[in-house]
Structure formats: C-alpha cells, structure tokens
Amino acid sequence: MKIFLAQQNYHIGNIEDNSQKIITAIQQARHQGAQLVVFSELAVCGYPPRDFLYFKDFVQACDNAILKIAQYADGIAVLVGAPQVNEQIQGKDLYNAVYFLENKEIKQVIHKTCLPTYDVFDEDRYFEPATHWELINLKNKKIAVTICEDIWNLGDNPLYVDCPMDNLIKMKPDVMINLSASPFDYTHDEDRKAAVKANVTKYKLPLFYCNAVGSQTEIVFDGSSLVFDKESNLCGRLKSFEEDYQMFELMDDGSIHCPILEPAQNVPDKENNPALLDEKLHIDQVYRALVMGIKDYFDKMGFKKAIIGSSGGIDSAVTLCLACEALGAQNVLAVLMPSEYSTNHSVTDAETLSKNYSNPYKILPIKNIYESFLSELKPVFKNLPFSVAEENIQSRTRGNLLMAIANKFGYILLNTSNKSELATGYGTLYGDMAGGIGVLGDCYKLQIYELAKYINRNNEWIPNHIITKPPSAELRPGQKDSDSLPDYNILDKILYQYIEQSKGPVEIKAMGFEATLVDRVLKMVNINEYKRNQFCPIIRISPKAFGVGRRMPIVAKYLG
C-alpha cells in the first residue's frame, strides 16, 4: 500500500483555506499514485481551536468542509482530522475526530480516546473521549487509527482509563497510523521518537505518524513526521519547521520500502527530560522555532513590518537577528533610544548590528522627554532620592515612542524580554514589557548567549562586544543586571528547577544551592506573577513556558 503523508501548516479558523490546502495535497498524492493520504490532527480547523469550538457555526463550517473534501476522495482514500458533533445527550458536545473518506463518502469516523489536559492542552474542556474502537479496512489492510495523545498512553498512564491500541490490537491490525498535533520544545525530538518506537516495539506493527507544522501564536509545531517499520527502525522523517510531503510504500510483510534512516538500536527508548539546564540543547532547533514563530504570527495576522527597541544589548540584538531572518531585514525597523545613562558603545553596537543586516534604523534620544517628566513630577517627587521610579520613566518613555511609531506606520512591536527577566520581574510594565509577541520570553539568559553564538557561527552578524560585555539595562550610572539579580549561571539553574522541573525550595536547596538565595529567587518569581499575567503571548520553546501552559494564582503565598 502506498501511503502519502501531508505535513501542512494550517491557520486556525481559516477553514476555507485549510480545506483548499488539503484538497491540493489529495490531488498531489493521487497524481503520485498514493492509495491513502494522511493529514494531521484537526487539520480542517487548525489546532488548537480552543473556544471557537463553542460556536455552532464554526463546527458546521468544519462539517461542510469535510463534505467538500470527501468529493476529492476519488480513486484515493483520505484520513483527515476535524471536530465531530456528539449526538448523545450525555458528555461533551464534540469529539476530536478523524474522518476516513473514500469513494466520495464518509466511510468511518474515529474518535480520540486520550484527551490531554495539562500544560498547553485543554481538550477535556471540549471533547468527549472515545468509548469504542474499530479498524479501518483499505486495500486488504486493516488499519488502526489513533490521534496524537493516544500513542503516548501505553496502558500505564494514570491520567487515562483506556488505551486505544490495547483495544485495537485485539482485532489484529496490519499497521498503525497516528494523526498528531504535537508541539515543539527543545526536549521533544527524542521524546517523540521514543514514544513512537515504544508503540512499535509493544505492538510489533509499523507506524505512520503525521504531525502538524507551523506556529499558532505561542505554540510552535515542528512537523518532523515519522515512519517506523515493525522492527522499530526509523524509515522516514519529514522535514522540521516546514511543510513536507512524502510517499511511503508499506509492504505485505510489514516492512517499509525505503532505506532505514536510523536502526532501532539508535532510536532513543526513553524520553529526554534533562534534569539540569542545558542551554546548548538543540539550539539550532530553538532558532528555527523562534523564526517560525515570528513569521507565522505576522503572516497569519496579516502584518508585514516589525519594530524593535535596539539597545545594544544581547536580547534586542538576538531578537533583531531572528526578525530579519523571519520577515526580511527591510521589514524590521530598529529604534535606538539612548538616555544620559547610555554608554557610547551601546549606540555604536546597535548601529553596527543594523548596518550588518542592512535593516532600517532611527536614533531618538530620550533625554529631553525624560527631563520633562521629571520637571512635571518635581512637585510630587520633591527631593526624594533617585529610585526605580526614575528608572521606569525611561523605560516607559521608550515604550511610548515605540508604540507611537508602531501605531503611525502599522508596525508590530517585538518584545525582547527573556525568561530570566520575566521570571524575576526584572522589567517595566508598559515599558520594556510592551509588545505584540514575546520572542525570547521562553529563553533563559544563558540560552540567549547560545543563540547569539549560533547566529554568529559563520559570520559576525552580532558585534562581539554585545556578547562579551556585562548585561545592563542602563537606567542609572554604571548599572549592571548583577546589581539586582544573581549571576545568570546560578539564577537560570534555580529557575529551571522551579519552573521546568516543578521542584520546591527544599528540593532545590538539597541540590547544593544556597538557601537564602533560593528563597529570594522563588519569592521574586511568585510576587511578579501579576506582571507576567499582563504580558504579551510568548513563543514557546521549552517544556514549561509562561502563559497558557503555566497557570499560577496572582494573589498567593507559596514558595514552591
């Protein structure tokens, strides 16, 4: 049997365009002689549709799209994901479904069993789980179809009652096919291969895994669809971070008619969840994920141009590089806004960076605006000493200038705050925390430096001085980040244990970190939840990002 995997980038809610993309791929697969074409989870509406699923018109549009797509299942069979109405009175109103289309008809509908409700997932909010399981018969092959999370449950996951493959294997299938929307994070490449391999090893069947690709605001899907033969050899892998289409021939003996990419013994058996922060881990993938996150955010929202506050620091420099790669340098405006506390090298470093990329830039000194604020506030501030209030006026002045230009010319402001800063509250609301999308908000400071090195791997795009100088907000004379924060080499490791590893203070202290420092850092994280709650969406590249995947109370008293 010739099976065609269509790894596509969908636009949530753009059902008409998604459907046309699906139809085009069906025609391409038929032209190449495929007998079955497989798409990803909820392909018709895009994933995750979230509360769009509460709108009856939205669900009806998906139903209509399936009927339209079915007319092209002529001489070829189709497996495509879409929501389906639950006709039963009991339970949720919808199923997360896969439609099996053949001979211009809906022949069968398969429902998802395991509905994830953790991190960025909230499927139990919308969907009813499957309660019965059946195989699909096509070309003398019996196919076990599952949906994403279904293959992450091998019967030993306490979150779920049923393991669909344990039920389906009793019917003696010939092959497993999984339609997925599995998000990217820098540990997930090995996790995914391990999960797919575990299914193949347990059930002794080949598995075709079609994953979504593309960024949906904060969630990035990397594609990287997989094909394993029944001996657990990796026989096929589609491209990462881009659309891809590949045909595979499943032989009668369960083998795949193509060269083996990785023999079974080289494919990981266990998930890769590093216990310690490894800032270098898959930094090339992190780079590509961030570029895709920017590009898709702009393309799908209909935006063309970005604006960045370019300070001569490493965060804004890396953000500018990513934006130029994603949008084209001509579409990225850098605005340099020196104050009386800015060093000369900050301006020259930022200028050199923009000259290296040939992106437009402007210099708008804020000294006069800042002094006018102080003059107006003098009757209130009187002779009180310089404090964070005066520092934040500078930051908010810059935010106002950037937003004014953005509003005037239709730019979108890219936020440059990193995860270390957001975690500890080292940022100014309505100032340097302003923006339409947070590019680096899921990258620790140590990862920012690794991204800079990766960007400079073949050419010094980022001036070396930006990378080597001590980081500073330059809001007062001689200021350095280390005046307010622990050294990033220590801070990031504590934050990683607290945020990604969900370890409390006792556990973190037992790892050898100084007790008062742990208490101080964890307190900073918790008391600044109110700031993060007002922050823009963040492109997710880690297993635990701020935003929809980490929901903490604002008014609370708990260190861990």
Task: Report pLDDT digits (tens) over 425-459.
Answer: 999 999 999 999 999 999 999 999 999 999 999 99
Residues 161 and 81 in one domain: yes
Give a yes or no: residue 65 inside a domain: yes
- Total structural domains in the chain? 2
Q: Taking a C-beta distance cutoff of 8 angstroms, is the pair 396, 431 a contact? A: yes
Question: Rounded CA gap, 49 and 59, in Å?
Answer: 10
Give a yes or no: residue 510 inside a domain: no
Residues 40 and 145 in one domain: yes
Q: Which of 482, 502, 522 is the last residue of a domain?
A: 482
Question: Rounded CA gap, 272 and 133, in Å?
Answer: 31
Give a yes or no: residue 542 inside a domain: no
- Catalytic-role residue among 21, 41, 123, 193: 41
Question: Rounded CA gap, 234 and 231, in Å?
Answer: 9
Provide the domain limits for residue 255. 2-266
Residue 403 burial class via C-beta count within 10 angstroms: exposed 0-12, middle 13-18, buried 19 and up: middle
Buried b (16+ CB within 10 A) or exposed e, 250-268: beeeebbeeeeebebeebb
Residues 326 and 247 in one domain: no
Give a yes or no: residue 415 inside a domain: yes
Q: Which of 438, 459, 482 is the last residue of a domain?
A: 482
Q: For residue 280, indicate whether it is catalytic.
A: no
Task: Report pLDDT digits (tens) over 198-250.
Answer: 999 999 999 999 999 999 999 999 999 999 999 999 999 999 999 999 999 99
Residues 218 and 302 in one domain: no
Q: For residue 139, indicate whether it is catalytic.
A: no
CATH number of residue 223's parent domain: 3.60.110.10
Task: Quote the pTM value.
Answer: 0.96
Residues 211 and 341 in one domain: no
Residues 137 and 166 in one domain: yes
Give a yes or no: residue 55 inside a domain: yes
Task: Report pLDDT digits (tens) over 53-62.
Answer: 999 999 999 9
Residues 314 and 372 in one domain: yes
Give a yes or no: residue 323 inside a domain: yes
User: Which position has the higher pLDDT, 267 or 560?
Assistant: 267
Task: Please name which of 83, 65, 72 lies closest in space to residue 18, comparing C-alpha atoms.
Answer: 65
Give a yes or no: residue 543 inside a domain: no
- Catalytic-role residue among 112, 230, 445, 503: 112
Residues 232 and 345 in one domain: no
pLDDT category of residue 478 using cuts at 50, 70 and 90? confident
Task: Please name which of 391, 483, 485 lies closest in space to residue 445, comparing C-alpha atoms.
Answer: 485
Residues 262 and 293 in one domain: no
Q: For residue 148, indicate whether it is catalytic.
A: yes
Q: 248 pairs with which residues across the strands?
A: 3
Residues 253 and 311 in one domain: no
Residues 301 and 248 in one domain: no
CATH number of residue 377's parent domain: 3.40.50.620
Tokens matching residue 451: 């991204």
Q: Which of 482, 514, 537 is the last residue of a domain?
A: 482
> What's the mean pLDDT in 153-181?
89
Residue 503, sorted as left (phi over 0), alpha (psi -120 to 50) or beta, turns out to be beta
Q: Taking a C-beta distance cutoff of 8 angstroms, is the pair 429, 460 a contact? A: no
Residues 383 and 349 in one domain: yes
Buried b (16+ CB within 10 A) or exposed e, 296-331: bbbbbeebebbbbbbbbbbbbbbbbbbbbbbbebeb
Supply the pLDDT for residue 481. 78
Give a yes or no: residue 28 inside a domain: yes
- Catalytic-role residue among 148, 163, 210, 443: 148
